[in-house]
Amino acid sequence: MKKIKDDAKFLLETGLLFEINRTILHKFGYALVIDTDYNNKRKVVIVGLFEPNEPDDEGWIYDEESFQDGAQKYQKFLEQIGKNKIDKRKEKLGFIIQEK
């Protein structure tokens, strides 16, 4: 198994962080947060897993600009890398997501 170098940066730049938050974590009221040092763009770290400070039925929602940015990054990742990995997994194993 190969470790991805700069894992936080990878999650951010591919839109995977956006998609993980949007489809899994946000619906439970959590958000995985990454911090970028804008003076040193190479420094990107996972800050932690957060939930709102107050009980909040709405939970986490992206503003329009952030939503579009994350969706575009994720779509680009799917087109360049993700779809190929999904297709290979399905061909080899007969499924994409492991079920019980």
**Is residue 98 in a domain?**
no
**Is residue 100 in a domain?**
no
Q: How confident is the model at residue 83 (pLDDT cuts 50, 70, 90)?
A: very high
Let me know: does 71 contact 18? Beta carbons within 8 Å. yes
Range 22-41 average pLDDT: 84
**Is residue 80 in a domain?**
yes
Mean pLDDT of the chain: 88
**Is residue 15 in a domain?**
yes
How far is Cα 47 from Cα 95, in angstroms, rounded to an integer?
33
Q: How many domains is the chain partitioned into structurally?
A: 1
Let me know: does 49 contact 31? Beta carbons within 8 Å. yes
Range of the domain at 76: 7-93
**Is residue 99 in a domain?**
no
How far is Cα 17 from Cα 11, in angstroms, rounded to an integer?
5
pTM attached to this predicted model: 0.83
The residue that leads in pLDDT, 9 or 17, is 17
The residue that leads in pLDDT, 41 or 85, is 85
| DSSP three-state, residue 49 | strand
pLDDT value, residue 29? 87
